[in-house]
Amino acid sequence: MAKAFEVVYLKPEQIEFSRRGDTLGLTVSEDSVSVHYPRVILRPCFPVSDNVAFLSVRDANADRQPEIGIIEDWTQLEPADRDAVAAELSLYYLVPKIQRIDAIKEELGFLYWTVETDKGPQEFVMRNNITQTTRQVTDTHWLVIDVNDARHEIPDISRLDPRSQKLLERYLSV
């Protein structure tokens, strides 16, 4: 039994993923003992750009979503498990790319965005706390995180129109 501060690595031969509709489940087998988690979520431990290495597997049925373990390289899993992981990651990491900012309105500590993305027009709300709601990937590449933890990407601020850049300067101090 691992202690709370120990990292548990899940070996490809010990795990089996299953899908029921849009729900990902996991069975972990070790020393003839199997534990089934009917609903799990996957989160990369490192930058979004490295979507292969070190996936944290968490129990979505528990309140605090405790970590079950870490998969070092999910491309080493069996084909069916690999497909299940890829499908789950594609659902979570659907990140619209912001191409134009039509408006940002500040109200009661929130920023209300109206934008044009590669997925069409969108509106979202984020907290007006840039240290918690934005991530600077490079000098000109940013992630904006809304109140639902959905990510919106600005691949290159310098390629936005001047009005969009002005709005970003005003509200995000970029």
- Pick from 10-19, 149-158, 161-170: least confident: 149-158
Using pLDDT thresholds of 50, 70 and 90, give the confidence band for residue 164.
very high
Q: Which residue has the higher pLDDT, 6 or 8?
A: 8
Has residue 162 got a pLDDT over 70? yes
Instruction: Calculate the average pLDDT of the chain.
Output: 86
Distance CA 124, CA 172 (A): 15
Give the domain-ending residue among 75, 92, 109. 92
Residues 57 and 111 in one domain: no
Has residue 32 got a pLDDT over 70? yes
Domain assignment present for 6: no
- State the average pLDDT over residues 88-98: 79
- Terminal alpha carbon distance of the chain: 47
Three-point CA angle 138, 139, 140, nearest 5°: 90
Residue-range definition of the domain harbouring residue 121: 98-172
Using pLDDT thresholds of 50, 70 and 90, give the confidence band for residue 49.
low
Distance CA 151, CA 69 (A): 24
Quick one: what percent of the chain has pLDDT higher than 90?
Answer: 45
Distance CA 103, CA 121 (A): 12
Quick: pLDDT tens for 94-108.
789 999 999 999 999
Query: In angstroms, what is the C-alpha Rg of the chain?
Result: 19
Q: How many domains are contained in the chain? A: 2
* Other residues' Cβ atoms within 10 Å of the Cβ of residue 126: 23
CA neighbor of 173 nearest in space, from 21, 165, 141? 165
Residues 86 and 140 in one domain: no
Domain assignment present for 114: yes
Residues in the chain: 174
Residues 80 and 119 in one domain: no
